[in-house]
Amino acid sequence: VVDPSQLGDILARIHRDLAPLTAKGKPATYIPELAKVDPSRFGIAVALIDGTVHTVGDAAEPFSIQSISKIFGLTLALGRVGEGLWARVGREPSGSRFNSIVQLEQEHGRPRNPFINAGAIVVTDVIAEGHEPRETLGELVTFVRFLSGAADIVIDSAVAASEKSTGHANFALAHFLKAHGNLTGAPERVLGVYFHQCALAMSCAQLARAGLFLASAGRNPVTRYTIVSPLRARRINALMMSCGLYDASGDFAFRVGLPAKSGVGGGILAIVPGVGTIAVWSPGLDATGSSLVGTLALEQLAAAMNWSVFSG
Amino acid sequence: VVDPSQLGDILARIHRDLAPLTAKGKPATYIPELAKVDPSRFGIAVALIDGTVHTVGDAAEPFSIQSISKIFGLTLALGRVGEGLWARVGREPSGSRFNSIVQLEQEHGRPRNPFINAGAIVVTDVIAEGHEPRETLGELVTFVRFLSGAADIVIDSAVAASEKSTGHANFALAHFLKAHGNLTGAPERVLGVYFHQCALAMSCAQLARAGLFLASAGRNPVTRYTIVSPLRARRINALMMSCGLYDASGDFAFRVGLPAKSGVGGGILAIVPGVGTIAVWSPGLDATGSSLVGTLALEQLAAAMNWSVFSG
Amino acid sequence: VVDPSQLGDILARIHRDLAPLTAKGKPATYIPELAKVDPSRFGIAVALIDGTVHTVGDAAEPFSIQSISKIFGLTLALGRVGEGLWARVGREPSGSRFNSIVQLEQEHGRPRNPFINAGAIVVTDVIAEGHEPRETLGELVTFVRFLSGAADIVIDSAVAASEKSTGHANFALAHFLKAHGNLTGAPERVLGVYFHQCALAMSCAQLARAGLFLASAGRNPVTRYTIVSPLRARRINALMMSCGLYDASGDFAFRVGLPAKSGVGGGILAIVPGVGTIAVWSPGLDATGSSLVGTLALEQLAAAMNWSVFSG
Amino acid sequence: VVDPSQLGDILARIHRDLAPLTAKGKPATYIPELAKVDPSRFGIAVALIDGTVHTVGDAAEPFSIQSISKIFGLTLALGRVGEGLWARVGREPSGSRFNSIVQLEQEHGRPRNPFINAGAIVVTDVIAEGHEPRETLGELVTFVRFLSGAADIVIDSAVAASEKSTGHANFALAHFLKAHGNLTGAPERVLGVYFHQCALAMSCAQLARAGLFLASAGRNPVTRYTIVSPLRARRINALMMSCGLYDASGDFAFRVGLPAKSGVGGGILAIVPGVGTIAVWSPGLDATGSSLVGTLALEQLAAAMNWSVFSG
């Protein structure tokens, strides 16, 4: 493993080299509010388990974390129902697009994993059950603030509204889950929570800090609070490795070698077990729906620091 | 990480606890020769990068490594054509059975990854091209002998013949690949090599040693020979993590957290990057076609030694 | 072709022979209101193009025609947009269940044909566009009254409400169509019309009369009104033959040999081109979702009268 | 129905109008021998049940009937094993390409119908069982000679050889069937018969005569020999209607309205129950693999003569 003192230089070099490529990706357009974001924004934050945070570029600017929020939703749901969650959601990569409904029909309404949309909707159903939507969202915001130590994290309600107005594919998934008996709440109610969860706005620095418990056996190394057991942290990392980038997860493991979760807002959060976390943001997406420059930045950073979990 | 001096005790305990469960798995019956193996056989070997090998049970008895051989075939093929291999084979988990032909049609003859049967047949085609079958098989045997330091490793020709006589699903795959222009050799010729490759007979101890280069940045830590570059070792590990247990890879990552490759003969080879390798053998399979007791043994050993790549 | 004077005797015999089998089918239970219907009800009506109607059993009792209404919706939609309809809906059998969403994803939101649920929802969208739901339903009721000469046909609003409360699979389809840009109206609005259309209550005698224009080159042979052109009548019959019984259409063509459309309420309307129509009703369904006894009755009647379109 | 005396004029007009379009289709290229055929050839033959045959264009020139031969194979197989055949082959349209293997896997080796390649290979297996290939082929040639009254019909062995050398997709299907226990003979042996059956060379006039029994309740109206029962003739027609043009069967029913079977050599045989048969030949194919001009000719002829089975 490379000496962390070189991290600053390496981050600066990667940012300088890749910034010109931000124009090559295509920002998501299906959520109108996301399409307004400046595609040249590009930030990286690395949080190490010693508590230090190293940043470059637009690492302090909040962006829509979208599907990265599924990590936090999953953590809360596991806290609520434990391993019983797996009766309703699988743990296998889907081999399909994030919003595919094909497998859901073939597998009778049990989503392949908690990171494809259908699975994340079931996870949201779990944390929303028995609560008013605003209570659930309050709990979620409190949780990410607690994890990241940032009291100003909020949900961008314009993004949530934008998503709701065009979210017919997700409505289809929710009704399909309901038809198969795998949704407790009413579809529009569960999706209301889901769309707001996805609209969480966080900066790279905040995200990197929020994910640190996964790099540190379930305990926030800064606050010393235990978030989850070491076993659960390990398992969440495993799910991110297998399924975090949808049908590009295998390729990402091959190229980067770290557990990670991407969002259609252009963010990616990656975990380096025992070392720290990396959060990147660049709105332009590649053909698989993950940040084009963000993926390249993670690939270069992991290689430069020799941070792959697969290294000997 | 747990002190390696405890390894012997831990192995003994796991073997004692799990031996009664060997009756629960079902040995493969579709290859008649494999169905003859005593289902109560059970061995474990751990090879550490310090060169020591720790064993328990039937760890010295050769068994049919079957699909575990795909690791060695892949290593040779990458040595021959480099990253160009990926033009013909993908790097994504398939989400389907090991011998599924559905995706192959939908994706126009490009197998999802090199570990499902279709992908491994393409890999075999690469190493067989321009050579007589016996030359290719000679190269393969020489390679695994070199990796494991065991001069007596041979191909069990009764198993190879048994497989050929019932291998219609693989013939279907090979002809399908040929129909899509993704097979250079004649199907029966490539499959001849493939069936013999799968019929390699190795013991747990030999397998564990043979895989050590993947735990050690591509270099055999005992002989000091470099087998592949650190980058390639990392990538092969990543592929094993994503795709090594077919449509149970996600679950295996969740439970065990190590790159691994299973074979229908009941063996599994797992890699602990930077630490060593584990080879287990128990012929009874679970519903997904991997060793039932072998998987449990790996799960317990990885947990006891805290060997998951996802640990902080 | 058999002498029509024998029709009465043949109908009586078939009814007598099959009545004991009504207990073998299973009434639909997913629409609660339909589950209340007495499963022993069984009626047959034959309308000949000479204007005579021959009945046996419960042929005068209204039942929920459900998907049989798709014939009338399709006729109205073709009247409104003509052959342009086929830009939005295909004309091929789907080979899948009536409510499958798999093909809809694979074929980017264009339903395979107008008789599977997804296709019928698009057809409803066509006739509903630019109108208030009650106007569209008024037009539909007026149309079937006009076709059948029965002024008392109504929509059973209890059935419509029952369907709405459990129709999550249809909501999934409608939102999916919307997500793919193949639905003009709001999903809940189009489905409101769709559920009410399916809740039309008609008797066998009324249904048989209403379908007569399809047996008579597009013209009602009783009233002499032209409903559609001969070409269009022929084509609607072709679609019923290919797709009218979902994934059992091929088997129905094989056994009965007549264009037909079934409904989950247990009704089936079959067309004998140049001769007349047959409407049967028996609530118990077979595994494919069509009336079990109704299918047998049609098979026996078509054989006895030599009414297959495939006879020489 | 239009007066048959006009048939000659109508045929001449259709041939004249459509001949310029023969350049628009694309002859099959995957069987090298077929690619050599002059794409401007175009013939039509109509055989009426009164024994007259009306022709235009290249109606006397033999061409490779390819999949049209599946009608004759099916008739022989039903004669041998009766309705028991349906235990091994379904009766539903597949909704997929003629050589798709996807459904075969999903449905565990039971082909959807006897006209897709997989189904026809099972049918060939039935007629080949217990015989030497040359005996089976001898029986087949004798049968089509008997049906058409043409003693000079032969198998084009250059075409059969050409097909064998490139028939990997069919080898894949046959091995897949074998793997699922739905093939009695060895794949290469059954395919040997299958490729030769497909290589039958017949003219439009011969084909039209050979199919007459299907238009005439199972009895050859010229020779008065009964080939099959009226019920079986009706059922074979139903299968042709549902499945004869693969995944374009619904569209063909919609446009033409007659039971028909196409071949990749550019021929199509259509049945007009009670009236006669039509054989067309034009080598250029449309996107679905059926003769482009042949389909248009059938559509125009059926419309001009009002020959749809769906007409009132």
Check residue A312 and give its pLDDT.
74
Alpha carbons C259 and C145: distance in angstroms, whole number = 22
The SS3 assignment for B55 reads strand
Mean pLDDT of chain C: 95
Q: Chain C to chain D, count of Cβ pairs less than 8 Å apart?
A: 137
Interfacial C residues in 28-47 facing D (CB < 8 Å): none
pTM of the complete model: 0.93
Check residue C1 and give its pLDDT.
57
- Determine the distance in angstroms separating the CA of D134 from the nearest CA of chain C, rounded to an integer: 32
Name the residue type at position C161: A
Indicate yes or no: CB of D172 within 8 angstroms of CB of B172: yes
Q: Are B18 and B275 in contact (CB under 8 A)?
A: no
Beta strands of chain C (E only): which ranges? 43-48, 53-57, 63-64, 154-155, 200-202, 260-262, 267-272, 276-281
Check residue A58 and give its pLDDT.
98
Q: Which tops the pLDDT comparison, D155 or C29?
A: D155
Check residue B147 and give its pLDDT.
97
Check residue A116 and give its pLDDT.
93
Alpha carbons D308 and D312: distance in angstroms, whole number = 9
- Determine the distance in angstroms separating the CA of C67 from the nearest CA of chain A, rounded to an integer: 19
- Determine the distance in angstroms separating the CA of D177 from the nearest CA of chain B, rounded to an integer: 8
Q: Are A16 and A243 in contact (CB under 8 A)?
A: no
Helix axis angle, D168-179 to D187-198, nearest 10° = 130
Indicate yes or no: CB of B235 within 8 angstroms of CB of A310: yes
Alpha carbons B309 and B298: distance in angstroms, whole number = 13
Residues 6+ apart with CB under 8 A from B286: B25, B248, B292, B295
Catalytic center residues of A: 67, 70, 194, 246, 264
Distance of CA D8 to the CA centre of its chain: 24
| C100 close to A (CB below 8 A) | yes
Indicate yes or no: CB of D310 within 8 angstroms of CB of C238: yes
Indicate yes or no: CB of C175 within 8 angstroms of CB of A171: yes
Mean pLDDT of chain B: 95
> What is the full DSSP assignment across C172-185?
HHHHHHHHTT---S
Q: Which two tokens stand for residue A78?
A: 């596991």
Q: What is the bridge-based pairing of β-strands B43-48 and A53-57?
A: unpaired
Catalytic center residues of B: 67, 70, 194, 246, 264
Check residue C264 and give its pLDDT.
95
| A189 close to C (CB below 8 A) | no
Mean pLDDT of C24-29: 92
Check residue D94 and give its pLDDT.
83
- Determine the distance in angstroms separating the CA of A15 from the nearest CA of chain B, rounded to an integer: 23
Is it the case that residue D2 has pLDDT exceeding 70? Answer: no
Check residue B106 and give its pLDDT.
80
Query: Closest to D101 (Cβ–Cβ): which among B101, B168, B187?
Result: B101
Task: Kindly report, residue by residue over B252-300, the tens digit of the pLDDT.
Answer: 999 999 999 999 999 999 999 999 999 999 999 999 999 999 999 999 9
| C171 close to A (CB below 8 A) | yes
Residue reference for tokens 């991997």: B290
- Determine the distance in angstroms separating the CA of D175 from the nearest CA of chain C, rounded to an integer: 24
Check residue C81 and give its pLDDT.
97
| C87 close to D (CB below 8 A) | no
Bridge partners, C48 (sequence order):
C276
Catalytic center residues of C: 67, 70, 194, 246, 264
pLDDT > 70 in chain B, percent? 99
Mean pLDDT of B72-85: 97
**Where residue C5 falls among pLDDT bands split at 50, 70, 90?**
confident
Residue reference for tokens 């009324």: C206
Indicate yes or no: CB of D310 within 8 angstroms of CB of C273: yes
Is it the case that residue B53 has pLDDT exceeding 80? Answer: yes
Check residue B104 and give its pLDDT.
84
**Where residue D179 falls among pLDDT bands split at 50, 70, 90?**
very high
Catalytic center residues of D: 67, 70, 194, 246, 264
Chain A residue with the nearest C-alpha to that of B309:
A309
Q: Which chains touch B (3 or more CB pairs under 8 A)?
A: A, D
Check residue A1 and give its pLDDT.
57
Contacts of B100 in chain D (CB under 8 A): 105
The SS3 assignment for B155 reads strand
- Dihedral of the CA atoms B292, B294, B299, B300 (nearest 10)? 110
Alpha carbons A58 and A207: distance in angstroms, whole number = 13
Check residue C107 and give its pLDDT.
84
Q: Which two tokens stand for residue B14?
A: 């796991």
**Where residue A102 falls among pLDDT bands split at 50, 70, 90?**
confident
Mean pLDDT of C67-93: 97
Mean pLDDT of chain D: 95
Indicate yes or no: CB of A100 within 8 angstroms of CB of C101: no
**Where residue C4 falls among pLDDT bands split at 50, 70, 90?**
confident
Is it the case that residue C129 has pLDDT exceeding 70? Answer: yes
Task: Kindly report, residue by residue over C139-155, the tens digit of the pLDDT.
Answer: 999 999 999 999 999 99
Residues 6+ apart with CB under 8 A from A52: none
Interfacial C residues in 215-274 facing D (CB < 8 Å): 215-218, 230-231, 233-235, 237-239, 241-243, 247-251, 253-254, 257, 259, 273-274
Chain D residue with the nearest C-alpha to that of C259:
D310
Check residue B310 and give its pLDDT.
97
Task: Kindly report, residue by residue over A240-288, the tens digit of the pLDDT.
Answer: 999 999 889 999 999 999 999 999 999 999 999 999 999 999 999 999 9
DSSP H helix total and E strand total for chain D: 13, 8
Contacts of B103 in chain D (CB under 8 A): none
Substitution target from C107, C165, C171 for chain A, most A beta carbons within 10 A:
C171
| C169 close to A (CB below 8 A) | yes
Is it the case that residue C98 has pLDDT exceeding 80? Answer: no
- Determine the distance in angstroms separating the CA of C228 from the nearest CA of chain A, rounded to an integer: 36
Residues 6+ apart with CB under 8 A from A286: A25, A248, A292, A295
Task: Kindly report, residue by residue over C239-295, the tens digit of the pLDDT.
Answer: 999 999 988 999 999 999 999 999 999 999 999 999 999 999 999 999 999 999 999
**Where residue D108 falls among pLDDT bands split at 50, 70, 90?**
confident
| D49 close to C (CB below 8 A) | yes
Is it the case that residue C217 has pLDDT exceeding 70? Answer: yes
Chain B residue with the nearest C-alpha to that of D179:
B168
Mean pLDDT of C30-38: 89
Task: Kindly report, residue by residue over D4-45, the tens digit of the pLDDT.
Answer: 789 999 999 999 999 999 999 999 888 888 889 999 999 999
Indicate yes or no: CB of C311 within 8 angstroms of CB of D274: yes
Mean pLDDT of chain A: 95
- Determine the distance in angstroms separating the CA of C285 from the nearest CA of chain D, rounded to an integer: 19
**Where residue D246 falls among pLDDT bands split at 50, 70, 90?**
confident
Task: Kindly report, residue by residue over D291-306, the tens digit of the pLDDT.
Answer: 999 999 999 999 999 9
**What value does the CA radius of gyration of chain C take, rounded to a whole number of Å?**
18
| D214 close to C (CB below 8 A) | yes
Check residue A94 and give its pLDDT.
83
Mean pLDDT of D54-79: 98
Interfacial D residues in 101-140 facing B (CB < 8 Å): 101-102, 105-106
Chain C residue with the nearest C-alpha to that of D250:
C92
Substitution target from A234, A235, A252, A305 for chain B, most B beta carbons within 10 A:
A234
- Determine the distance in angstroms separating the CA of A94 from the nearest CA of chain B, rounded to an integer: 6
Mean pLDDT of D65-84: 97
Check residue B182 and give its pLDDT.
97
Contacts of A175 in chain C (CB under 8 A): 168-169, 171-172, 175
Q: For residue C62, what is the DSSP state?
A: -
Is it the case that residue A105 has pLDDT exceeding 90? Answer: no
| D173 close to B (CB below 8 A) | yes
Indicate yes or no: CB of C310 within 8 angstroms of CB of D242: no
Check residue B2 and give its pLDDT.
66
Measured from the Cβ of residue B50, the count of other Cβ atoms closer than 10 Å reads 10
Chain B residue with the nearest C-alpha to that of A248:
B92
Check residue B252 and give its pLDDT.
97
b/e map D254-285, b = 16+ CB within 10 Å = bbbbbbbbbbbbbbbbbbbbbbbbbbbbbbbb
Task: Kindly report, residue by residue over A34-48, the tens digit of the pLDDT.
Answer: 989 999 999 999 999
**Where residue C164 falls among pLDDT bands split at 50, 70, 90?**
confident
Poorest-pLDDT segment among A101-105, B282-286, D266-270: A101-105
Task: Kindly report, residue by residue over B124-151, the tens digit of the pLDDT.
Answer: 999 999 999 999 999 999 999 999 999 9
**Where residue A2 falls among pLDDT bands split at 50, 70, 90?**
low
> In angstroms, how far is the first alpha carbon of chain B from the final one?
10
The SS3 assignment for D200 reads strand
Poorest-pLDDT segment among A224-228, C107-111, D81-85: C107-111
Poorest-pLDDT segment among A4-13, B52-61, B88-97, D141-150: B88-97
